[in-house]
Amino acid sequence: MAHLSLLSPRAKSGAGGGEDSGGHPALRAAEDDQSLRAEALIGCSGSSSSSLSSSSTPTPNSVDLSLLSRWRLEIQPLVLSLLSLKEAARTSLVSRNWRKLWTRYPNLCFDGSKDGSTDMDSVKIESAKFIETVSSIIQQHSGIGLNKFSVRCSLQMDSSDVLNRWICFATASKAKIIDMNLWPKGNYVEPTKQVHHFPLEALGAQDHPFIQCLFLTNVSIKPRSDLYGFTKLRSLHLHCIQIIGDLSGLLLNCSSLEDLEVIACSGVTDLNIPHQFNKLRKLLISNMRIQMVQFHVPNLSHFVYKGTMVPIVLHGCSKLQEATLTFHKTWLEEDNNKVLGHVFHGIPSISAVKVLHVHAKMRTNQLAWTSQVHTLTTRPACMFLNLRHLTYEIVIFTKLPNNYSGILQLAQYLAFAPQLEMLELHIAILITDRAISMKQMLYHVSVGRCWRGEGVSYHMGRHDHLKTVYMSGFRCYRAQVDLLCGILDTSPVLEHVTIEPMVRIPYSLELMNLGIPRDEICEWAHRASDRFGKTITVAKRPQQKC
């Protein structure tokens, strides 16, 4: 709960109510060092004029009082930057010149979201105290030099007037950063149905644009193309927002935007933005029920997408450094056959990327093997010539893991990244046959049935630059064995090959990592090492040897 205290830092510490530093010694040491530096500055600049002028005889080393006064004014903002809000309030005890200093504190951050009592009466009391504290502080604050205004709490719908007053204070003070997170306590699932409205028009009510970072969570907005005041906006994060209006029109006015996040927002069916964002560096789109993504982003360096497989077009995206794509599970068999290759043949506009992470879930009830794999893929539209580091995380739902060959699609897609140097492949295979018991499922999944045949070096293009391969969840299933054999056979400069039997994807780990057949996996690794002349390291747990 945000509140002010006029106790000195040491008196407060002695009373057992010190600042919350999480109990970590490093954090406490940092805070102590910060306070000592601030105290030293306060001690120098807080000296009264009378004490300096008490000497009856001027000396050559006498301090120019006007110079000292100017120095005090210059150092006060530095002192404030080293203090917390509570400590800044205590500076009013230093001297008359410091009495109102805290009213210019630059970063007002109020957090009422910490877990407390679940009793409804107690929650109401805590909420009322929080509102009273925040309102009291902003009423006394001068608004001068406000850099950041942040509120994290859960407000009842009857508190809209209070919220509006807080927003008016932040906008009237021309805060550069506004962060309003009204996510309710204990809600970790989905946005609430009733939310407070955030008035975007208030950000354009001042003489000139001032807002640089706007972070909104669990509110509603009404964006329009005629809203102004956003030309200096560099970061816009919209999390769980009810969007009522023209988001594309609002973004048209954000000519300085560098960082855009849109997560789990409603009211938007497409993110089709026709105008160009010359300064956008980071773009994150997650859990949006949209049909298409289209941006003009010539300087984009980081792209993150999480959702269903939809058309994604990033025009002019030639400077992309890193992309992370997470595709939701689909229940259509034909879509499952496309999910691994969707990056290569469905999103050619990211072909300039250097580091690529792909997360996918696949489900199949049909059996397929290498003779059929070529029918499951389509030729990518372009080559990924800059790709150096590729990571796949794949969760597979199947009845018989040794009869499923879906991941062999990667054998073809890897050929379209001829400069690839590092490949990481993390796999978790879950048995979905409802006819077997949980005990049988546990045995089948955790103990598994290693493929007894020799791995087939499936036809692949050469990987002349591939140096490192790391595969987790490796249980010697047939598709895993064939894929790795193909890589070993076509990578002449391969230096490091590591297979890890443990599943690393956070998906039913307790079930997946019991009874791992390590001896069989180690035996296969030794045979494959001799066969291809390359050392294969089996990652081991402590006190285990291969």
Q: Which of 503, 542, 501, 502 is nearest to 522 (CA)?
A: 501
The pLDDT of residue 72 is 59
Q: In angstroms, what CA-CA distances link 115 with 4, 159, 324?
A: 20, 20, 32
The predicted structure's pLDDT at residue 66:
53
How many residues are given for the chain?
546
Tokens of 99: 């009495």
Give, in degrees to the nearest 5, the angle at Cα 263 between 258 and 268: 95
Tally Cβ neighbours within 10 Å of residue 273: 20
CATH of segment(s) 106-312: 3.80.10
What is the pairing mode between strands 219-221 and 196-197? parallel
pLDDT, one tens digit for every residue, the chain (546 residues): 444 433 333 333 333 333 443 444 333 444 444 444 444 444 444 444 343 344 444 444 444 545 445 555 567 667 766 777 777 777 767 767 666 777 888 899 999 887 666 677 777 888 899 999 999 999 999 898 899 999 999 888 888 899 999 999 999 999 999 999 998 765 544 556 789 999 999 998 777 899 999 999 999 999 999 988 899 999 999 999 999 999 999 999 999 999 999 999 999 999 999 889 999 999 999 999 999 999 999 999 999 999 999 999 999 999 999 999 999 876 665 666 678 888 888 899 999 999 999 999 887 655 544 444 444 445 666 799 999 999 999 988 887 778 777 888 888 888 899 999 999 999 988 876 654 554 455 444 444 577 776 766 666 788 999 999 999 999 999 889 999 999 999 999 999 999 999 988 886 666 677 778 889 999 999 999 999 999 999 998 755 555
- Please report which residue ranges of 320-373 form alpha helices under DSSP H: 333-336, 342-346, 370-373
Within 8 A by CB and 6+ apart from 476, the residues are 448, 450, 451, 517, 520, 521, 524
Q: What is the pLDDT of residue 44?
A: 45
pLDDT value at residue 516: 84
Residue type, 275: H
Point out which residues pair with 100 in neighbouring strands: none
The three state secondary structure string of 437-476 is CHHHHHHHHHHCCCCCCCCCCCCCCCCCCCCEEEEECCCC
